[in-house]
Amino acid sequence: MPRPRVLSGVQPTGALHLGNWLGAIRNWVALQDSHDTYFCVVDLHAITVPHDPARLAEDTLTTAALYLACGIDPQRSTVFVQSHVSAHSELAWLLNCVTPLNWLERMIQFKEKAIKQGDQVSVGLLDYPVLMAADILLYDADLVPVGEDQKQHLELARDIAQQRINARFAPRDAAGEPIPVLKVPEPLILKDGARVMGLTDGSSKMSKSDPNEGSRISLLDPPELITKKIKRAKTDPTMGLEFGNPERPEADNLLGLYALLAGKSREQASQECGAMGWGTFKPLLAEAAVEALRPVQERYQQWRQDPGAVEAVLRDGQAQAATVAEETLDRVRQALGFLPRS
Ligand code: AQP
């Protein structure tokens, strides 16, 4: 039996943080043993909001090196850069032409990000979910790990594949049965999918693009900076740490972070810290964060010491990814009726 195929990616929009690690990459690492895993750095997505061209290449390389440092193993996973496989852009165009505009206008993430950008909002931002659908559908992914914020986009990818491509363009076999053009992927809802909130506001998610650096812990922050950020993290006047109290989002978030970083269950963390004051808890959390990130930072330095090593992984990944992607793209071109290339 072939292993179910999984695809996921992170945008190189800045320094990866604890949310990207604990909510996404850490789970990808675990999937490598049981699934056929494809992980890309989604640089085409990163330019859907204003970006700095002087940083894009370096951020892309850093993101790829962090995948490797977090435990993505190029022997077991295909690691590549989205823009290196041009099939992503081409399939996105083909899918654009069959996707109703109002499906995109409904997307919550577009509405939220568009508000922030006013008149400057790009067509690319509106089209983000179609590009994401192309990313997934190109690899015949069976499963896509999704957090709450990406569920709507995955649903859209499924609708495009099923209703807009397969239902309209599937060729027929000898018995007249349709042969699906695209595989319709399922969401992979992770059992311990963590949603990490910001350090300066326990009710908004930790994010690369938050202008306040102190709101996030980046995976490459040195120990002193991690300790300083945790020391300054927002607290409340109540004694003791607890989960699930809607009045205390910071307590819930930081206690959850402690459990994940120290490798303890939520019950263990509650028991240990339930009666602690913030002054005792924060150094404990800082130490757990520093220790959890130490091996990641060490491995990152090793990868970056050899400038060609990460590029070599990405070159191999590109070759492997492009082979699969081109096959799918060819199926779609044929189904849509294009003149075959000679
Ligand atoms: N705070 C978070 N908690 C848990 N998971 C998170 N992810 C992001 N933030 C958190 C997960 O990381 C993966 C990649 O995210 P992305 O780079 O594609 O974009 P994003 O979700 O929009 O992440 P950011 O950091 O907030 O980036 P910007 O600021 O550029 O928009 C996804 O699996 C996501 O769920």
Question: Quick check: 190 pLDDT over 80?
Answer: no
Residue 250: predicted pLDDT: 96
For position 83, what pLDDT does the model report?
A: 98
- Mean pLDDT calculated for residue range 158-180: 97
pLDDT value for 194: 77
What sign for the dihedral angle of Cα 174, 175, 178, 180? negative
Q: How many Å apart are CA 164 and CA 181, to the nearest integer? A: 11
Mean predicted confidence (pLDDT) in 310-338: 98
Decide if 11 contacts 17 (C-beta within 8 A).
no
Strand, helix or coil for residue 340: coil
Q: Which of 211, 205, 313, 192 is nearest to 260 (CA)?
A: 192
- CA pair distance 93, 98, nearest whole angstrom: 9
Q: Is the pLDDT of residue 92 over 80?
A: yes
Inform me whether the pLDDT recorded for 198 exceeds 90.
yes
63 Cβ closer than 6 Å to some ligand 1 atom: no
d(CA 102, CA 335): 24
| Residue 207 in contact with ligand 1 by CB distance below 6 A | yes
Reported as a pLDDT band with limits 50, 70 and 90, residue 342 is: confident
- Smallest CA-to-CA distance from 133 within 169, 90, 95, 84 is with 95
Whether the predicted pLDDT of 191 surpasses 70:
no
Q: Please tell me if the CB atom of residue 153 comes closer than 6 angstroms to any atom of ligand 1.
A: no
Interval between CA 51 and ligand 1 midpoint (Å): 17
- Indicate the pLDDT class of residue 309, thresholds 50, 70 and 90: very high
User: pTM for this structure?
Assistant: 0.95
Residue 78: pLDDT over 90: yes
* 24 ligand 1 Cβ < 6 A: yes
Q: What does the pLDDT look like over 248-294, one tens digit per residue?
A: 999 999 999 999 999 999 999 999 999 999 999 999 999 999 999 99
Which helix (H) or strand (E) segment holds residue 5: the answer is strand 5-10
pLDDT tens, 205-219? 999 988 999 999 999
Amino acid 193: pLDDT: 63
CB atoms within 10 A of CB 329: 21
Least-confidence region, from 142-151, 189-198, 228-237: 189-198
Read off the tokens for 330: 């060819």
Asked if pLDDT for residue 82 goes beyond 90, the answer is yes
Compute CA 46 distance to the chain's CA centroid, rounded to the nearest angstrom.
12
The number of the ligand 1 atom at minimal distance from the alpha carbon of 148 is 35
CB atoms within 10 A of CB 58: 11
pLDDT of residue 248: 96
pLDDT, averaged across the chain: 95
Q: Whose CA is nearest to atom 35 of ligand 1?
A: 147
